[in-house]
Chain A
Amino acid sequence: MKSWLALVKAGDWLVAGLAAIAVALSFPLLWRGGQAERAVIRVDGRIFAEYPLDAPRRIEVPGPLGKTMIEMEPGRARVQSDPGPRQYCVLQGWLARAGAVAICAPNHVSLMLTGQQVSYDSLNY
């Protein structure tokens, strides 16, 4: 081990250190994409409400079967409860990426997250 360390010169430490910092910085810089910023709630395909995901909120959305509860927190949102029979949209849990969609088809309600960049949505992809 010691004999290997002797091969590393002062400038090598500098280069490797700067490279390590660049690598560490590349993660937040390049993997930030897709962060959800807004939640769009639709009823019957028409926009019912749109909120920024910056504060906790609970929204009641009326549909033909009853009330769908949507819960939001900074950076994420979910369908908390829904009167539909199979509960698919509730079981999806928290959505956190731009383009993510939860659809409560029986109650005609959908929750979609959008981000800065318009990317593919998880339905058409």
Chain B
Amino acid sequence: MSPNTTIALKVTPADRRVARFAAAAIALTVAEAAIPTPLPGIKPGLANIVVLVVLARYGWREAAWVSLLRVVAGSLLVGQFLAPGFFLSLTGALLSLAVLAFSSRLPQRAFGPVSQSVLAAFAHIGGQVLLARLWLVPHDGVFYLVPAFAVFALFFGIINGLIAARLLRENAP
């Protein structure tokens, strides 16, 4: 190979979309990291709004890309990469993507972004608590926190779902 060879990677429109949405999600993650929280682990999860919008408009595959890029790049930016918080976040994201893979097949007429958001939020805390129980705090005391987490998951799940639904309606293609 001569030193002047240029390797051009083919960039598809989907790649550009994923990059753009992931950037928006990462920005929200960083902004959110500045908000003080009463309990570690309770966050609004604003980046999930972006994931929901991508899911509704471009399907699960791209939503999964955005979500996972968000977890990796977001943790790099806030200095949490490979720290416990990163693995909690990753587990939560993977589990909510798994749930979204099923819930996005529900009839769209009855189940909108609010349903997806609430289900994903519960999957998110479920994954985190499970990993925390198995790895970080191997004691059932972790489950004492579940009701508190669940209240916030429900609350922010509904709010994020409403915002995603509104964005989808106002920017309908």
Chain A residues in contact with chain B, CB under 8 A? 4, 7-12, 14-16, 19-20, 22-23, 26-27, 30-31, 33
Contact = CB atoms under 8 A, between A and B. Distances in A.
Nearest to A15: B115
Contacts, number: 68
Contact of A22 (B112, B150, B166): B150
B147 A31 contact: yes
B118 A30 contact: no
Interface stretch (B50-58, B78-86, B103-111): B103-111
B114 A23 contact: no
B165 A7 contact: yes
Given A7-B113, A19-B157, A22-B150, 9 more contacts: A8-B112, A9-B112, A12-B114, A15-B114, A16-B114, A19-B118, A23-B150, A26-B150, A33-B140
A20 B147 CA distance: 11
Contacts of A31: 144, 147
B166 A4 contact: yes
Given A9-B110, A30-B143, A20 B115 contact: no
Contact of A11 (B107, B157, B169): B107
B169 A7 contact: yes
Nearest to B115: A15
A31 B107 CA distance: 36
B161 to A, nearest CB: 7
Interface string B162-173: 100110010000
B112 A7 contact: yes
A71 to B, nearest CB: 29
B146 to A, nearest CB: 5
A9 B114 contact: yes
Contacts of B150: 22-23, 26
13 contacts: A7-B162, A8-B114, A8-B162, A9-B109, A11-B110, A12-B110, A15-B115, A16-B118, A16-B154, A20-B154, A30-B143, A31-B147, A33-B140
A115 to B, nearest CB: 14
B21 interface: no
Nearest to B111: A11
B23 interface: no
B112 A11 contact: yes
